[in-house]
Amino acid sequence: SWHSVRSEFERREQCSYQIILSILHSCLERGLEDSWWESVKRGKQLIVYPAHVPRVIMEPAIPRKKIQLHLHLDGSVRPSTAWELAKEKGIKIPGVTNFEEFKKACVASNPSTLWGFLQHFGVFWPPLCGDLDALERNAYEFCEDAHKEGVIYAEVRYSPTSSLGDKAFKEVGPQGYDEVIRRISFGLKRGEHDFGVKTRTILCGSYCEESNDLYQTLRLCQAHYYEGVVGMDLLTLQQEHGIIDEAPLVEPIISVYQEAARTSVHRTVHAAEASGAYAVHRAVYGLGSERVGHGYHVLEEPEIYKKCLEDRIHFECCPHSSLLTGSVKTGGKTHPIIRFANDGANFSISSDDPTVIGHNVQGDYALLADWGLSEDLMAQANLNAVHSSFLDAHDKHDLLKILKKDNVR
């Protein structure tokens, strides 16, 4: 009944009048007549459908507008799109005979290792790899999905090397990387125009002892700035067994990151996700990285963590993936993200690889709410994200105005 709903409002003293109106407005959209809505605005009693309102009220308090800084575009593929393309191209997935099995195979349903987590890309990425039309389509569909989640700005990252693929590279050569970037950028621009989601891109370079594509990645960053490429990322490739130290201080990584800094290419590094706290120190103070991807294990070394707090080093955090990659063993109040928030660390919230996780960023916010993170701290994480983004000052100012307006309830 409405009386029980009203009691719920009274028990939630922090719930402002604007929030109440937004809840009732959602009820109106489900079928209430305009005359009843006018009564609400005049302060009169309203009879509502009991099945609807409690569901709305009990949703966790989550900011409506969101910023994402750590999001892999090649991990943000609609399963329906990948399945459609796989059927068109005759690509067979072992053990998969229908769409439901395909969707299930895309998702890492149980905690594993980072290597095990990444094996799921082998299910949904082959139908898109090397297909320029598919890559552009995926970029566009990402913007549509992000809009539905309330994302107003995202820095999406991807590897031009893995996007082009070996087969296409043999056919077209290095210029294929440039065309991949142009087509993905065009898809993002179309998505920004149609859905209002601002995006910029970060190009990922990978390193292992046997090979790397870092010089190529830096060249592409420098060449495609005016197509929205704002920075580069370093992925230290892991193996099935054992852990490879992230952000190693070796050539060519050192030279590439020094050259990136000299040419105003922004820098982030995956660190302390698979390996320990010293990866953060190497990334930030050895390579000059401006941000850290994940960074959860920094808490293992209090002195390194203290210096990161003092220097306002930004941690790009991804709640669900932190568990599914095995980086963090348990969630709840002891999770590093909760510690970051309570310590006033400079951190943000992103979804990492929505296709592998099985949901978009709204689910990550809901998980943090379940762990006890307040809406105010979530809102602060979004402000952190703007300040630590790779945007120019003017664009940052515009985003801050949107977020501050959204937080006035």
Which are the catalytic amino acids? 273
Short-list 155, 91, 137, CA closest to 352: 155
Strand order through the sheet with 314-317:
66-72, 151-158, 198-207, 229-236, 266-271, 291-294, 314-317, 346-349
- ∠ CA 166-200-105, rounded to 5°: 50
CA distances from 343 to 262, 270, 299, 340 (A): 33, 22, 11, 5
Please name every residue paired with 67 in a beta bridge, in sequence order, or none if there are none. Answer: 153
- What's the CA gap between 301 and 303, in Å, rounded? 6
Structure tokens that stand for 320 in this block: 């669900």
- What's the CA gap between 69 and 200, in Å, rounded? 10
Q: Cβ(336)–Cβ(296) under 8 Å?
A: yes
